[in-house]
Amino acid sequence: MKKLYLILMAALMCVGVGYSAQKKVAFLYVEGYGAGKNSWTGDLASGYTPTADPVYNALAATFDVTALPQADGTEADYEALRKYDCVVLSEAMSGAKTMSNGLVKLVGTVPVVGMKAFNYTSGRWGWAAPSNPSTKTSAIVVETAFKDHALFKGLDANPDGSFTLYDETATLSSNRIQGFAESAIISGAPIETDKLYAKASGSDYICVHEIANAGDYKYVLVSMSSDHAPAINANGQKIIVNAVNYVTNSDPGPEKNLSIAYLYDSSYSGYCGIDNDPIANNTKLAEQDLVTIDVKNFTNPSDSLFQDTLAALQNYDLLVISEALSSGQQFAIACKDLINRVPMLNFKSFIYKKKCWSEGAGANPSDKAANNGGVPFITVPADFREDALFNEIEFESDSIITLFVNYDTATVKKNLVQAYTLNAGSMFEKDDVLAQTSFKEKSFNVIHRHGTKNMYMLISLSSDAMFLEEESNLSESCLQLINNAVDILAKTKAKVTPCAIPTIKTVNGDQVTDVILACATADASIYYTLDGSEPTEASTLYTDTFQITTDSTVVNAIAYKQGFDASAVTSAIIRVYKKPAVPAISIAKEEGKSTVTITAEAGATIYYNFMGSDAVEQSAVYSAPVEITRPMTISAFAYVGAVISDLVSEAVEVQGVDPTTLRENEFARFDANETDWWWETKDGNSKVAYYISKSTALSMYASIDTIIDPQTGDTTYNKHLRDLMVWHPQNDSTGTIDNGWVIFSMGQLIQWENTTPAAVVGKAGDAAYNCDKPEDLLYPATKGHITFQSRYSGEGYNAGILSTQKFQGPFDIVTCVGNNNSDGSAISLALAVSEDGENWVELDTMGVSYYKRFWTTHRTAYNENKEVYIRAMQGGGGTKIAVYDIILFNNKPTAIERTVASDVIATEYFDLRGMRLNAPATGVTIVKYIHADGQTTAEKVIVR
């Protein structure tokens, strides 16, 4: 035990401690990632699987690892992942996908080890511009300052000091060590330049680094490609194991003693003295580097020793506050500011009272201990009996733990277990209560803990009777409880970081702007000023949205939270705009079309749509007159500085077009819904179904006979087509389940994908499935699509969608199609009709969106009075055209007598001219109901 007077200045050094225990680790990857790569052999020929990855196997041999395959198109379950001790992000995942892009949300909220540098790309995590070194190196070079870092512990070094992570005898050409240049770090990224630990050999690409200031937990990147995972050697396996140990603090190096500060007051009435104090002498505290600090004379907060000591306490591994000090003791009161800045174990509940910490109050369960004696036991709720705080402690009657040896009320008339109450709004109000006690059927709270980083815990024990008859009066269970608390708290030691910088969001109205402040640090308090001054905790506390009515007002905001440093100040100039005037719509009519011109006040941006919407995402920017060839309603609004005008709508008629003959009655539909078209097929999963295979197209020919003329030597070929492959809804090969459509192929690959088209117009570069133009939203694409993939080399397109029933013409066909290839790809869809199902007449060939993932609609007219089948196939260009819907319209809305109930899945409204409405209008409205089986019913309603 060391006294304050000898080692106060030495306390300025922070001393850590290591703990070893099997950790629960989540291992994230995409099953089959990179299938077909030439560099993969053996078990990895069909793509990544964790059991063929030496890194995964090394982790599984060391930790309790759960392999969690992820789907590219769905975000990971972050809340479930945060329950693990560590999350490892395999390199075997596609970049620029919903899943991998979203994983950045884990950083700082759970210990994370990443292996994929390319997640950092702009548009993904936005941290850096990663790359592959020009020479595919297998080795890393550690910066001199970090050669003894725990990440590299136990690795075998090369003569030049580098570490080889792949077996260099495996000569396959494949990516290995990856990374990014320091100059390629994107401004504002959380990458800490003082924690760039290693580079790829022969390059300046950072391949190992740490982020410690992005939240409560560490993040480490060890950038190792999975392109030839089986070649990862013992070093490559060890460094990832080390990284998991490091971010979880389970093996940071040789175990060291804890540095612990213990506060007490030697003048406290009834105190047994530090030399007899069983907490200081009979627990784990005595085995560590314990500094005991007598605060008897620390009464003046302005005294330099007072302040120096208070500052030095943050550098300890643990701060312990004895019950043997007055709740009004000035130094003890000042320690409130250290909560969650250093791990803290407090035994003094009465310090919670008003004018001390002001969080509540202390309580003695026994109303008159001097007469009745104190209460010696605690009761642990069932939910916490397996908590680490109660490890190696035997419960009495399943829930009771006695903390004192002698508690005979005839002789020990002193307080024993004490308790606490909390004020409404206390920082501890939401903490779990880990133990209680009771007296005369009244319950009292005894133990709680607060925070996860630099954790705080209260165990409310009186010092009055902890030393009796010249020996400790604390039971073995009590001593073990304290030891457990020390272990738990010390593991939470972490660097104090600033709060996240607040964000300032504005919502503009007419001559008023709403200001919304937020902070990514949970439960942080935000303070702001409006006069240009620097905000402090004395400034206005943000509680809810506030309004600004003076243009160019400066908002400055700062965030504070107990256990964190203050954030940097963020500022914004708040603009206040006047609501723009309603745009003017003028219509020029001519035979076959009407031209709509829209004008607005100077400086305004005009948006228009056909949905009666004032939402920017459902509209397009007006730049030139709009030509309309079918009667419909156009809507427009003006936009100035994020303030929109009122909406204006005009019905547009077209000369020469008879509204009564417009084909707006939907009478049949193909849509790629999950119920009909997804099932578990070869290589399929919950997000995709492959009808033939994942990557290998078949030849459309079952066999080819080679015939050589014996006279001339000429060679001819007799080709035999393979049988047509047909897929019915739900893969019912008998066709007994028939919704009127099938998918077919003679070898071209087809897949179903679980996608959700967005009702958003023209946002190029989004990862979402947006539409091209406002007109598309009149017939929005439904969930899921069929993609026509690659065909056998040298052969034509031979896959498509086919109706199994004839439809009576005339009718219009509206197709919802998209581009699943890349921006700028030229792809088209061909529509054809047939009276007999054998002889086909091409009806239309239509191009799809320029942008990847975008979808668009086309209308094609079939004007003959015949019954025909319909076929849709890829018409030209590259692969990956996506078909969402094929919808048939005629002009005969009729009520249908239904013998089988079918749910209504959509309702549409039209006026008597056939023009689409957003809702029933005054007068007569035609209401059309679309049922799940593709049929429709209609009725006329009168709105008065």
Q: What is the pLDDT of residues 270-316, one digit of tens each?
A: 999 999 999 999 999 999 999 999 999 999 999 999 999 999 999 99
Q: Is the pLDDT confidence value at 250 over 80?
A: no
Q: Which residue has the higher pLDDT, 443 or 34?
A: 443
Secondary structure class of 261 (helix, strand, coil): strand
How do residues 53-80 score in pLDDT, each as one tens digit?
889 988 988 888 999 999 988 899 999 9
867-900 burial: b if 16+ Cβ within 10 Å, else e: ebbbbbbbbebebbbbbbbbbbbbbebeeeeeee
How do residues 404-421 score in pLDDT, each as one tens digit?
999 998 899 999 999 999
Q: Which residue has the higher pLDDT, 245 or 3?
A: 245
Q: Where residue 20 falls among pLDDT bands split at 50, 70, 90?
A: very low
Q: Where residue 894 falls among pLDDT bands split at 50, 70, 90?
A: very low
Q: Is the pLDDT confidence value at 255 over 90?
A: no
Amino acid at 350: F
Work out whether the CA dihedral 7, 8, 14, 17 comes out positive or negative: positive
By residue count, the chain amounts to 944
573-586 burial: b if 16+ Cβ within 10 Å, else e: ebebbebbeebebe
Work out the mean pLDDT of the chain and round it to a whole number: 87
Q: Is the pLDDT confidence value at 6 over 60?
A: no
Q: Is the pLDDT confidence value at 733 over 70?
A: no
Q: Residue 610 has what pLDDT?
A: 93
Q: Which residue has the higher pLDDT, 187 or 448?
A: 448
* Least confident segment among 35-49, 156-170, 420-434: 35-49
> Does the bond joining 535 to the residue before it have cis omega, within 30 degrees of 0?
no
Q: Residue 353 has what pLDDT?
A: 96
Q: Record the tokens describing residue 850, joined without a space.
A: 């320029």
First to last CA, the chain: 90
Mean pLDDT of 339-347: 96
Q: Record the tokens describing residue 797, joined without a space.
A: 């397109």
H or E stretch at 718: strand 715-721
Secondary structure class of 917 (helix, strand, coil): strand
**In this structure, how many other beta carbons lie within 10 angstroms of the beta carbon of residue 904?**
11
Please give the full DSSP string across 134-180, using - where no structure is assigned: SS---EEEE-GGGTT-GGGTTPPPPTTS-EE-B-TT-------B-EE
Amino acid at 162: S
Instruction: Decide: 809 and 864 in contact? Cβ < 8 Å.
Output: yes
How do residues 456-505 score in pLDDT, each as one tens digit?
999 999 999 999 999 999 999 999 999 999 999 998 888 788 888 899 99
* Least confident segment among 304-313, 616-625, 733-742, 837-846: 733-742
Q: Residue 914 has what pLDDT?
A: 57
Mean pLDDT of 158-178: 79
Q: Is the pLDDT confidence value at 839 over 90?
A: yes
Instruction: Please give the share of the chain, as a percent, with pLDDT higher than 90.
Output: 59
Q: Residue 36 has what pLDDT?
A: 55
Q: Where residue 85 falls among pLDDT bands split at 50, 70, 90?
A: very high
No. of H helices and E strands in the chain? Answer: 11, 62
* Least confident segment among 4-8, 608-612, 918-922: 4-8
Residues 6+ apart with CB under 8 A from 801: 670, 741, 742, 743, 744, 786, 871, 872, 873, 883, 886
Q: Is the pLDDT confidence value at 134 over 90?
A: no
Secondary structure class of 58 (helix, strand, coil): helix
In which region does residue 656 sit, left (phi positive, over 0), alpha (psi from -120 to 50) or beta (all else)?
left
**In this structure, how many other beta carbons lie within 10 angstroms of the beta carbon of residue 805?**
12
How do residues 560-603 score in pLDDT, each as one tens digit?
999 989 999 999 999 999 999 999 999 999 999 999 999 999 99
Q: Where residue 662 falls among pLDDT bands split at 50, 70, 90?
A: confident
Pairing label, strands 827-834, 904-910: unpaired
Q: Residue 128 has what pLDDT?
A: 93
Per-residue HEC secondary structure of 523-590 comes to: CCEEEEECCCCCCCCCCEECCCCEEECCCCEEEEEEEECCCCECCCCEEEEECCCCCCCCCEEEEEEE
Q: How far is CA 53 from the centre of its chain?
A: 26
Measure the CA–CA gap between 649 and 432, rounded to whole angstroms. 57
Q: Residue 5 has what pLDDT?
A: 38
The CA–CA distances, whole Å, from 269 to 335, 874, 878 equal 21, 91, 88
Measure the CA–CA gap between 130 and 117, rounded to whole angstroms. 6
Q: What is the pTM of this model?
A: 0.57
Amino acid at 391: N
**In this structure, how many other beta carbons lie within 10 angstroms of the beta carbon of residue 160?**
8
Amino acid at 442: K
Measure the CA–CA gap between 673 and 719, rounded to whole angstroms. 37
* Least confident segment among 681-685, 817-821, 886-890: 681-685
Nearest to 392 by CA among 278, 280, 478: 478
* Least confident segment among 251-260, 393-402, 630-639: 251-260
CA dihedral 393, 396, 400, 406 (to 10 degrees): -90
Q: Which residue has the higher pLDDT, 35 or 749?
A: 749
Q: Residue 254 has what pLDDT?
A: 46
Q: Residue 9 has what pLDDT?
A: 36
Work out whether the CA dihedral 863, 868, 874, 880 comes out positive or negative: positive
Mean pLDDT of 866-892: 91
The CA–CA distances, whole Å, from 914 to 30, 663, 665, 906 equal 49, 8, 9, 17
Mean pLDDT of 706-715: 82
Nearest to 91 by CA among 115, 66, 56, 127: 115
